Amino acid sequence: MQVNGKAPGVMAEEAKRLGALLVHYSTDYVFDGTQQGAYGEDDKTGPLSVYGKSKLAGEEAIRRSGCRHLILRTSWVYGPRGRNFYLTIAAKAAAGESLRVVDDQRGVPTTSRFLAEETAALLRKNATGTLHLVPSGEATWYGFAREIVQGKVRVDPIRSGEFKSAARRPANSVLDNRRAAALLGRALRDWQSLLDSVRQSA
């Protein structure tokens, strides 16, 4: 809570004092996952986990400050470096391991490069407020894993209850990116083509 909830408010107050724009990344986990369709920016929040609650607190602190801000909610971020779902699944597939992956949680896989490039594009458009910044389309973790391994190893679908997790995760955390797309004047790339780009650069 200190890092995710309170620190953004401190930075927001400083941004206001300097007349600066604060760009802040938030998460799909501010929603409870009970909605049937994709979540828009104005839909009711209701985080299930401490992580989601702390990120929502950070958003609210920024808005209360009155500073110029751009809050970008995103989801399932991965890339060719660091520690992330993509690299874990790719490594297991390379080792010939069969996989069991959750198939009842839906979201939008988002590459770190996409996030960086589209943030810069939105800044060039002088975007402010709260936006959902994810590629087009959606997937389950199981579907994402199958796209990563491309048939090299067996991937079996499982229910969330079969996978031990320290935090509750929303069943549906698909974010609607139409508002960001409208500001940019174009559709955002689909997550599958972005996965291909990461695979080629790895």
The position carrying tokens 């909830």 is: 5
- Tokens (6 digits) for 21: 């724009």
Task: Out of 25, 29, 39, 51, pick the active-site residue.
Answer: 51
The position carrying tokens 């992956």 is: 101
| Burial classification of residue 199, based on how many CB atoms lie within 10 Å of its CB (0-12 exposed, 13-18 middle, 19 or more buried) | middle
* DSSP states of 93-106: HHTT--EEEE-S-E
Q: Kindly report the number of other CB atoms within 10 A of residue 5's CB atom.
A: 18
Q: Is 25 a catalytic residue?
A: no
Instruction: Give the residue numbers annotated as catalytic, written as ranges.
Output: 51
